[in-house]
Amino acid sequence: MCFKRKKKQKTSENKGIKQSETYKKSNTKRKIENFCYRVVYDSERRMWAIKKDGAKRVIKRLPTKAEALSLAKELSETQNFNLTVHKKDGKFQKQA
């Protein structure tokens, strides 16, 4: 027995999907512009980490919060990004 594949028909519905895809792409561009550096505590390694929103990896791990804050402030000022600081328990502390 042989099955035939159905051809996709071009309809106005397909055009609507393409328009929404371009809308999604434009939304991601807006999110990229609003990046933020975060200073968080890594309990597994017992160090403070600097992370960038949307990134998979940590930028740098430092032993003290003060060192992490000073480096994160430098990074955020040079690249015009926001800076968010979290407490050791993960709660929001401040936004600089």
Q: Give the domain 35-95 fold.
A: TTHA1013/TTHA0281-like (3.30.2390)
What value, to the nearest 5°, has the Cα angle with vertex 68 and ends 71 and 31?
Answer: 70
Percent residues over pLDDT 70 in the chain: 66
82 touches 73 (CB < 8 A)? no
Name the least confident of 1-5, 32-36, 92-96.
Answer: 1-5
Name the least confident of 15-19, 55-59, 65-69, 92-96.
Answer: 15-19
* pLDDT digits 0-9 by tens, 33-75: 578 999 999 999 999 999 999 999 999 999 999 999 999 999 9
Position 31 confidence tier, pLDDT thresholds 50, 70, 90: very low
Handedness of CA 72, 78, 81, 82 (dihedral sign): positive
